[in-house]
Chains A and B, each alone.
Chain A
Amino acid sequence: MSLFFLTLGFGLVTASVLSLLSVGLSLQFGVTNFVNFAYGSYLSAGMLFTWTFSAKLHFPFVLATVCGVILTAILALIVNEVVFEPFAKRRKSIFYMLIVTFGLSLLLDSILQIFYGVGFDKFPIKQSAAIKIGPFDFTGVQLLIILVAVVSMVVIHLLLTRTSLGKKMRAMSDNPDLAKISGIDTKSVTRATWAISGALAGLGGVVLALNTVYFETTTGDSLLFVIFAAVILGGIGQTYGAMLGALVIGVVTEVSAVWVSSAYKTDVAFLILVIMLLVRPQGIIASQGKA
């Protein structure tokens, strides 16, 4: 039983990491309507930028994280301006957009690898002792990850429901053409969405690196399809669905370690993805016309 609670605790931490990442991917999908296969590179970029600031430039860790997250958001903005915007202008079909993002992931990964090289890095922070909360054992870092994720989810919720930008994003997600003729500046909303998506990828990357301790340039890509599994589980393009999907995938993959070797964690995520696609491809929270 203690093993169950231990893995459940890990599951909550993993779910927190995944929730940041899947919400970032899902928001962007909702607004731009294509899947970004380069998302894994964004989260690698987030953790590596933060590593540069904290390990090389000796910034305090929180400041380094803020700088890393902002840089990742800028990276996402630049990629949108230089790559996606020209393609969107030409109204390229979804086929080509997917191929372009796939190519971009290779491009960005290789560029990161040129600068950061191969091999594992680690943030220069101390591991804290375990803290007992009810039946769970958490380290300070793990509690911090959960806190960051919960705060971020609340902020995203407020953004979507209380601000004019959030309403515009939801409008574009529902029907981009209608949003456009209603006078919404779709271009600037798209830009804002990419910045938010990039920031969430960066932040998710940092907390992922905190959780796994060691990371390398391809860490982001190896998690990419687990994020996809969470997003599809919740219903693609659905922000709250993505949170729910992240919770389910995070908890199930970690708790599965009670029965199967933890080396097969990602395989469990894949299994959930397959079952979901066969049984309910539109996701738990279905959106019309998106499956």
Chain B
Amino acid sequence: MLALILILIPLIGSLLLFALRGSNDGVSKNVALLTSLVEFVIAAYAFITFDSQTIVEVKYAWMKDLRINFHLGIDGISLLMIALTGFLVPLIILSTFKYSYKKHESFYSLILLAQTALMGVFMAKDIFLFYFFYEVALIPVYFLAAIWGGTNAPRITFKMFVYTMFGSLFMLVAIVYLYIKASTANIQELYTAAKFISPASQNLLFWAFFIAFAIKMPVLPFHTWQPDTYSESPTPATMLLSGLLSKMGVYGLIRILLPLAPVGLSNYGLIAMILSVIGLIYGSVIAIQQNNIKRLIAYSSFAHMGLMAAGVLSGTLSGIQGALLQMVAHGINAVGLFFIVKIMYDRTNTRDLNSLGGITQNTPALSIYFMIIMLGSVALPLTNGFVGEFLLLKGVFDKNAWLGGVAGLTIILGAVYMLRMMQRSMFGERNEVTAQFSDVKGTEIAVLLPIAAVVLLMGIFPNVFLKITEPAVNSLLQLIHP
């Protein structure tokens, strides 16, 4: 029942907003925030009361004769993603409070619709339901990015849309193939059925799923839509894309790709890992040279996603556990960083590192928040990025020591671009652009404070999260390495 409520609340909020067309800006903001807070409370309740023994499930017949069900369930892996979604969406909504968007009802309605679909993706137990929500999640975000984005947004987001849909269609074919072979759509039953699929078909399944998820994350060489889309989209859409939608790709790798194509994984997993690691290095190197902060964070996101993909594809406990933890950490950090970029752009009208500088002198509070979130992103010990990144690197290293060594460069490169960004924007001499920079207040603090707090808490108590996911990950691993 809990699973159903988690889907229904944002959906109702979204429809309510759609019905409220013509009301004023404040009403839509408050309705959206209230809905997402209720959702957060329920997600938090699920998180606290969760116990890996109980399996929370709802199941309704969707297409009777095809045995396709509206089947939701929560296990440790789902729970973590639900908690992340529940936590981030209110912050994303809150981060828009200082600004007013045209057609605001539709704007907030689409955000909540995206949340509905995300919750669905993370809880789906039926493979068609998973695909359904996976596709539906993109539609509201596409419209958010395209309609409220910059002047080039229609062209750029269109590329993103066609690109990701193209990948998803491969997944659809793979799903249809599996469904016909196994004549079931239940993901749990498909896991068992997948063992009897011939190695040749498994290889094809592996690539079909990998391309679909690799485009979503993105992983080299399917990333070309990402930097432009992230920088042209309005900030809330960028936050949704980098904080949550990209996680659907990693989640798909863990939930769908690994257990459904284990033979394909052992044949081609290393190639896919190499691609991911190349992407990681490539993204970091480009990030070092970026002067546009939003693009810089976009490339850093790309690099982080590469490491997560490599960790998951290593098929080890530490790799997958690390990826799960890093998904949460990166989601939170990305939202925080993009919000700080928005704050800077709002006050200085520029995202160019060369024109910024000396902001710390006016803004003690912003500097502290920025520092904490930035260090989380660099993966300093005692921040949320550390444990995840450490486990990820261990996973990659266990699988292939050379690759692990190359991937380890991320620690250095990540520090270089992040510190460079911090130093060039916040420190140094004030100039005429940044002279009047005012410190954060009101809703801005309300967004940054929880993020900074979680960055530290997660870094100090990572075990809370690891314990929740461990049983689920172990049972997945038994499917991969029987």
A and B interact physically: no
Interface residues of B (CB under 8 A from A): none
